């Protein structure tokens, strides 16, 4: 049996093939996204995230607040706000586009118990909240999992806080590494 080296890539690969965002008005005004990853190291501590970005809402650069992907304008040359579109009417909406689930896994070489990893995964959701608006709607199935693959001693709160940051960065890579597909433009098509 011949083993091959790692073949992971950010962008339109694996689960990222079907990922898109900005779907409040359906797929006609959605954008293509994909899978993205990011990692940091602080001393011996390593922490990374892989995110499949498939959200109802818009995507923002968590450091600048700039919208970088999401709900397209009528002419599909720019971006508009999902929240503004939703706020135009307060009436209950039936049949929202529900094919949305942003998934992430946070991996660290720090040694944590199951309950500590659950807390870290919960803190990592802050990364989605910094990057996606709206997020965690009834039309989204957002989930983050945290796993420990080492025995480095590290502070749980530090790792949870870094988890949020690497998730935010992985979200951005999900946007910037995606290429247009299936009639959906990518951020590069808009000059982002």
Confidence at residue 4, expressed as pLDDT on a 0 to 100 scale: 58
- Cα 84–chain centre separation: 21
Read off the pLDDT of residues 28-75 as tens digits, 9 standing for 90 and up. Answer: 999 999 999 999 999 999 999 999 999 999 999 999 999 999 999 999
Confidence at residue 14, expressed as pLDDT on a 0 to 100 scale: 93
Q: pLDDT (tens digit, 0 to 9) for every residue of the chain, 192 residues total?
A: 455 557 789 999 999 999 999 999 999 999 999 999 999 999 999 999 999 999 999 999 999 999 999 999 999 999 999 999 999 988 877 656 667 899 999 999 999 999 999 999 999 999 999 999 999 988 898 999 999 999 999 999 999 999 999 999 999 999 999 999 999 999 999 988
Confidence at residue 95, expressed as pLDDT on a 0 to 100 scale: 57
Confidence at residue 16, expressed as pLDDT on a 0 to 100 scale: 95
Altogether, the residues listed in the chain come to a count of 192
- The token pair at 80 is 């508009």
> 3-class SS at 9?
coil
Residues 6 or more apart whose CB falls under 8 angstroms from that of 34 comprise 10, 11, 12, 13, 16, 17, 19, 52, 53, 174, 177, 178, 179
Crossing angle (nearest 10°) for helices 156-176 and 114-131: 40
Kind plus residue range of the DSSP H or E element containing 124: helix 114-131
Q: Which of 34, 32, 31 is nearest to 13 (CA)?
A: 34
Q: Please state the φ and ψ torsions of residue 190, each to the nearest 5 degrees.
A: -100, 5
């Amino acid at each position: 049996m011949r083993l091959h080296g790692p073949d992971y890539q950010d962008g339109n690969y694996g689960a990222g093939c079907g990922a898109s965002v900005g779907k409040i008005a359906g797929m006609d005004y959605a954008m293509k996204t994909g899978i993205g990853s990011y990692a940091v190291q602080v001393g011996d501590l390593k922490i990374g995230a892989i995110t499949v970005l498939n959200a109802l809402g818009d995507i923002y650069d968590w450091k600048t607040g700039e919208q970088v992907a999401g709900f397209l304008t009528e002419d599909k040359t720019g971006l508009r706000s999902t929240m503004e579109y939703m706020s135009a009417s307060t009436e209950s909406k039936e049949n929202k586009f529900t094919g949305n689930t942003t998934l992430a896994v946070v991996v660290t070489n720090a040694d944590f118990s199951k309950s500590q990893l659950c807390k870290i995964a919960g803190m990592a959701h802050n990364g989605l909240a910094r990057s996606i608006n709206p997020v965690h709607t009834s039309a989204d199935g957002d989930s983050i999992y945290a796993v420990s693959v080492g025995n480095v001693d590290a502070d749980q709160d530090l790792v949870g806080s870094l988890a949020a940051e690497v998730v935010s960065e992985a979200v951005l890579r999900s946007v910037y590494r995606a290429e247009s597909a299936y009639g959906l433009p990518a951020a590069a098509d808009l000059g982002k």
